[in-house]
């Protein structure tokens, strides 16, 4: 019964069917084969649930699984998005791209907005501090048919962004926030435009309720809230009660929740506790692209928890490197990039320090294959050791802001002109 239900999930609308069992085939190494039907029950455990949800509509985009991949700088490139899609369903958003760099058509920004032909819903996140530049970037994406969904970033807590008035710092200047969102919505036309934000700068300077109402009034298609302040960075526990508060305040568009979703059970609990219309998943999927399979199954009525063997994890890691090679058009660069994923993929598994160090310095796919072949593919899922928080949480810190930024909610002419320098990088995060 479990097997039949799972295969129905894989062929449901909005869910790209991957290899049997939810794990991709071995990518050219030959030592291990993809799981067969008889292995499915060994990889998954099932618990019935009643937490079924209606499809999520973001403008004219309908998602039968209300799950969004959060933009993460240096992570959510085409390669990672394709890998996640092989396991589950949802909306997969690009890395954060600076509006100014896009308008100037820098080579890196143009590469970052390129989607693989398999990405049927092309989603791009923009960062900007100037209404005119953001509008021009959105206009370009629409006129050149480069996106089906555009998201605006007002949640990045990184100092190089906030010290220039961008990311999570910007909604404090509510007039500027309104101008940017209104200009972007107008430029987007029929393309759904959404915003992603944090609670505010710190506990004394919360902005999410007012910014949410402004965004709703401007005509955005959805609002996502990471339930932390910029000062929280990624520390502590996300304040899901803020998501519930925003959901109660916003009545005409979906509200999506973000923060501390490490498992499908967390996602269902967030929906139950906050009433949000969908979830945005960031760090929880690092080294675990199969989390999207768990999420898809959970929102369709079954909690199917992936419990991959070490061999299946190794195959996913190798597949990631292969896709990165295609994305960068450089095997050497792909190997450099995949190194940062080593600790995330093999968290909790019995992979020794020397082997981890070698994987973190790999220079070719051939070398990667040799290293992965030394692992015991039959090592079982290590349980709790492979679960929980991923990525660095850090600690609360004072947010870097432009001088006298908190003195007023409005923005003066000279202050406004100084902000444009914050759009100099290709990726803001």
pLDDT band at 416 (very low <50, low <70, confident <90, very high): confident
pLDDT band at 415 (very low <50, low <70, confident <90, very high): confident
pLDDT number for residue 34: 34
pLDDT band at 390 (very low <50, low <70, confident <90, very high): confident
The full set of domain ranges for the chain reads 56-306, 310-382
Q: What is the pLDDT of residues 79-120, one digit of tens each?
A: 999 999 999 999 999 999 999 999 999 999 999 999 999 999
Q: What is the pLDDT of residues 11-30, one digit of tens each?
A: 333 333 233 235 544 333 33
pLDDT number for residue 29: 38
Question: What average pLDDT does the segment 186-208 reach?
Answer: 98
pLDDT band at 308 (very low <50, low <70, confident <90, very high): very high
pLDDT number for residue 391: 79
pLDDT number for residue 52: 60
Residue pair 71/156 in contact (Cβ under 8 Å)? The answer is no
Q: In the CATH scheme, what architecture does the domain 56-306 have?
A: Alpha-Beta Barrel (3.20)
Question: What average pLDDT does the segment 218-235 reach?
Answer: 97
pLDDT band at 245 (very low <50, low <70, confident <90, very high): very high
pLDDT band at 281 (very low <50, low <70, confident <90, very high): very high
Is residue 47 predicted with pLDDT exceeding 90? no
Question: What average pLDDT does the segment 386-392 reach?
Answer: 86
Burial 388-400 (b: 16+ CB within 10 A, else e): eebeeeeebeebb
pLDDT number for residue 419: 76
Residue pair 51/339 in contact (Cβ under 8 Å)? The answer is no
pLDDT number for residue 302: 83
Please state, rounded to an integer, the average pLDDT across all residues of the chain: 87
pLDDT number for residue 264: 95
pLDDT number for residue 5: 28
Question: What average pLDDT does the segment 306-325 reach?
Answer: 98
Residues annotated as part of the active site: 156
Considering only residues 32 and 272, tell me which one the structure prediction assigns the higher pLDDT.
272
What are all long-range contacts of 119-123, with beta carbons under 8 Å and residues at least 24 apart?
Answer: 119/78, 119/81, 119/82, 119/85, 119/92, 121/61, 121/91, 121/92, 121/148, 121/149, 122/146, 122/147, 122/148, 122/149, 123/91, 123/92, 123/93, 123/94, 123/147, 123/148, 123/149, 123/150, 123/151
pTM for the structure as a whole: 0.87
Q: Among 124-138, 163-177, 240-254, 414-428, where is mean pLDDT lowest? A: 414-428
* CA dihedral of residues 161, 164, 167, 172 (deg, nearest 10): 150
Question: What average pLDDT does the segment 370-390 reach?
Answer: 95
Is residue 148 predicted with pLDDT exceeding 70? yes
Is residue 167 predicted with pLDDT exceeding 80? yes
pLDDT number for residue 394: 76
pLDDT number for residue 392: 76
pLDDT number for residue 32: 33
Residue pair 89/299 in contact (Cβ under 8 Å)? The answer is no
Q: What percent of the chain has pLDDT over 90?
A: 79
């Amino acid at each position: 019964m479990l097997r039949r239900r799972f295969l129905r999930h894989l062929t449901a609308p909005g869910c790209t069917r991957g290899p049997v069992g939810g794990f991709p085939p071995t990518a050219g190494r030959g030592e291990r084969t993809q799981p067969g039907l008889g292995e499915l029950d060994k990889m998954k455990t099932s618990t019935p649930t009643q937490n079924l949800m209606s499809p999520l509509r973001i403008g004219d985009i309908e998602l039968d699984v209300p799950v969004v991949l959060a933009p993460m700088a240096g992570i959510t490139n085409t390669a990672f998005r394709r890998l996640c899609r092989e396991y589950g369903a949802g909306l997969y958003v690009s890395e954060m791209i600076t509006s100014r760099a896009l308008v100037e058509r820098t080579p890196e920004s143009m590469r970052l907005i390129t989607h693989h032909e398999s990405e049927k819903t092309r989603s791009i996140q923009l960062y900007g501090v100037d209404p005119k530049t953001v509008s021009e970037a959105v206009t370009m994406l629409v006129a050149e048919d480069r996106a089906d969904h555009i998201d605006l970033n007002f949640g990045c807590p990184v100092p190089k962004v906030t010290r220039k008035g961008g990311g999570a710092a910007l909604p404090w200047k509510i007039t500027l926030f309104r101008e940017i969102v209104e200009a972007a919505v107008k430029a987007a036309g029929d393309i759904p435009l959404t915003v992603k934000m944090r609670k505010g700068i710190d506990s004394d300077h919360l902005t999410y309720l007012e910014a949410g109402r402004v965004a709703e009034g401007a005509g955005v298609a959805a609002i996502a809230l990471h339930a932390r302040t910029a000062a929280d960075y990624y520390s502590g526990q996300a304040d899901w009660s803020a998501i519930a508060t925003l959901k109660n305040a916003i009545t005409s568009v979906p509200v999506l929740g973000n923060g501390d979703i490490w498992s499908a059970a967390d996602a269902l609990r967030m929906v139950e506790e906050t009433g949000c219309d969908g979830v945005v998943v960031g760090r929880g999927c690092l080294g675990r692209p199969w989390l999207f399979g768990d999420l898809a199954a959970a929102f369709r009525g079954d909690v199917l928890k992936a419990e991959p063997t070490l061999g299946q994890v190794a195959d996913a890691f190798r597949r990631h490197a292969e896709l990165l090679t295609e994305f960068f058009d450089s095997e050497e660069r792909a190997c450099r990039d995949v190194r940062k994923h080593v600790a995330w993929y093999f968290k909790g598994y019995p992979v020794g320090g020397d082997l981890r160090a070698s994987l973190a310095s790999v220079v070719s796919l051939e070398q990667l294959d040799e290293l992965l072949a030394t692992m015991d593919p039959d090592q079982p899922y290590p349980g709790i050791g492979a679960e929980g928080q991923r990525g660095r949480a850090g600690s609360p810190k004072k947010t870097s802001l432009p001088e006298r930024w908190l003195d007023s909610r409005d923005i003066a002419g000279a202050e406004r002109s100084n902000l444009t320098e914050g759009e100099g990088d290709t990726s803001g995060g």
